Amino acid sequence: MNFLRDTSFEAEFGEWKVVAGHPEKSFITEYIEAYDKDFYIPLSTRVNMEAFSQKLSDLSTTFFVVKDGVVGGLICSYFYQPETKKGFITLVHTKHENRGQHLSVYLLDALKQFAVENGFECVDLFVSKQQVAAYNLYLKHGFEMVEEGENGRCAMRWKKSYAEFK
């Protein structure tokens, strides 16, 4: 797979497969530039795209949902401080043509499984309540609001449930 330098996780979801590892910098740069305008607030208005791509390539565990070798979406996350037992989701995206196929659910399920298998007890993220579909998706899949900040920006957390992963 030309989008990963290494693979640390794989899971099957019907015809889709989720693979995770450290992304190739060139792939992640091209991806976030191509889909920049899909984000609620375009990434290019919030971050230095080159530096962000480098950080994702160096430090993130990125989950790609793939069918027939084509990426349908991704979650970029950080699990590089195991002593905290806390992961962090920094970026979630599914391509327009693949929306409505539950790819975000597959990605979240894979990420939670990875977290548990690697000794992490929770995963944090930030989302705007104005992003109703995303906010509701996280609530439906076990994330709880931890704090609501200015302009409806919320800190959310998923905590490992032993019943969920027996």
pLDDT tens figures, 117-142: 999 999 999 999 999 999 999 999 99
What pLDDT score was predicted for residue 127? 96
Q: What is the pTM of this model?
A: 0.93
**pLDDT tens-digit map of 47-80:** 999 999 999 999 999 999 999 999 999 999 999 8
Contact in structure between 79 and 123 (CB atoms under 8 Å): no
> For residue 161, what pLDDT is reported?
79
136 φ, ψ to 5°?
A: -65, -35
For residue 92, count other CB atoms closer than 10 A to its CB: 21
Task: Give the start-to-end residue ranges of the domains of the chain.
Answer: 9-120
Q: How far is CA 131 from CA 89, 99, 151, 152, in A?
A: 16, 15, 12, 9
Residue 22 near residue 39 (C-beta atoms within 8 A): no
CATH code of domain 9-120: 3.40.630.30
